Amino acid sequence: MLPQEKEVYLRAIQLSMDNGLYIKFVEIHTEQMTTAEAHRTCMFVYWHRLFLLGFENMLRSYGGEFSCITVPYWNYVDHNDLFLSGACSSMEDCAPILRELGGSQAGRTRTVEINGTPIQGTCVTNYPANHFCQSSVVRGNQCARCIPRGDWATAAFPPTTSVSSLMRQLFSSPTIASVATNLEQGIHNTIHNSLEGAMSNLEAPADPIFFSHHATIDLLHTIFYKCAVGNTVTMSLEAKLSDPRQFTQCARRTPLGRSVDRNVLLPQSSVMIRSGGQTEQAQSVFEVQNPLDPFFAPLPQEYLSLSDVRDIGEFSYNYEITGLLGSMYTTCGGLTTTRTGARGINRELASKEINQNSFVEAVVVPSETSSGWYNEALAAAVNATSLTESSQDTAFTDALAEVEKMTCVFYDECRGKVRDYNAQFRQSFHTNGSTPCSKTIAAISSGQDRIKVRDWRAIFLRHLECDHA
């Protein structure tokens, strides 16, 4: 984003906090029936895609300079690579967007009840957090005027933000159900966990970084879609519904009343997205009485319309992609380097650039970012897995898993110990398992697994320094 675009985006956040619309999106994310559909289901990606679109419509409703606002994504893949290379020392040090949203240091430790849930952290008072109001029933001087955050200035990037982990999350399985699970249990959960404060709770949308985090997850899905589906013309509804790369069905976590999809989420299912504060009865955002209805009413109400960001009618969009994300988009599993160019973190609206099929296509911006360690490690892993019992069909998937194992151990040995989920995140997001790298480290330590590339440490150390060597 250009400096002026950042200023406009932050002013829109400020306005929405001041007039009470912002907190309504926190209330959506914490509503019991809604969150049971949004998380730990096959529709995780598509639910949050609709949530983002509604949020953007709300920001655009202020008109004028706000009319074409898009949520900026957070390129934590490049920022993590800077962290890995030793060019910076923490999430806040490596990621300008965290500092631009107020950082984590200006404030005092306190507990804020956000929509009725007590959340502790450094309650940051930098702009725009100094406009935050923690509940729909609170106004004026009763507003917290700060957002609780963890210590981003010392927090390390989780290994799931590395190219090696994201390649596995996106390309180890060709179905949307598997990719949604991989992204949720991988990059999604670990970023929430690492940032702590509000982000470790279901009240996470209280922090504006939530929306940029989910914009990145949305972008990652577009990489999967381009590489796995790759259609260049509009697909028929029948073709989409029969394609497991776009739709599968899965069990609901909370059954509905009497309906054909009472116990199962289908592509044809209407999206469960309701808002309701501490004193309000939950109500669908598609009901005209809901103050959020103007922002959601023009949007699709069924999951079947949300599989392709280029095919959502007037709300179609795509991304301006840079750095390692751009390489992932271009190479679909391998990784090459493009050269010099400007950084781009924009979601492009359909009106910007449309091809002959009325698709708004992604713009890949050339970048100086490189990841030589990954290229060499992947080549070694492909060679190692081809010499084992792996079949031709699974050799590449096995190689991706091998490089992620190497990355996990390198983080554990050279970038501080790999962190598992904290207690607050487990409780709020109802997560009983461990992070992907925590599982990997435990399996290798117990002898249940091993890294097949014997000289993998030498490969990493040719490109990266070890802090604890």
Distance CA 38, CA 36 (A): 6
Helices (H), 19-104: 22-30, 32-38, 44-60, 76-85, 91-94, 96-100
Buried b (16+ CB within 10 A) or exposed e, 42-52: bbbbbbbbbbb
Q: State residue 386's pLDDT score.
A: 76
Which two three-digit tokens encode residue 385?
Answer: 């897995």
44 contacts 186 by C-beta, under 8 angstroms: no
Q: State residue 370's pLDDT score.
A: 64
Q: Measure CA of the first residue to CA of the last residue in the chain; give whole Å.
A: 38
339 contacts 345 by C-beta, under 8 angstroms: no
Q: State residue 416's pLDDT score.
A: 87
User: Which residue intervals of the chain bear CATH 1.10.1280?
Assistant: 3-209+224-302
Distance CA 125, CA 112 (A): 13
pLDDT average per 10 residues of sequence, the chain (469 residues): 93 98 97 96 98 99 97 96 93 98 97 96 98 94 97 97 96 94 98 98 98 98 95 90 94 88 94 87 95 98 95 95 93 51 42 53 78 90 75 78 97 94 95 96 97 96 86
- Cα Rg for the chain, rounded, in angstroms? 22
The set of residues, in sequence order, having a beta carbon less than 8 Å from that of 383 and lying 6+ positions away, is: none
Q: What residues are paired with 117 via a beta bridge?
A: 114
Q: State residue 335's pLDDT score.
A: 46
Q: Is the domain 3-209+224-302 a CATH 1.10.1280 member?
A: yes
72 contacts 1 by C-beta, under 8 angstroms: yes
Buried b (16+ CB within 10 A) or exposed e, 143-170: bbbbbbbbbbbebbbbbbbbbbbbbbbb
Q: State residue 352's pLDDT score.
A: 39
**What's this model's pTM, rounded to 2 decimal places?**
0.93
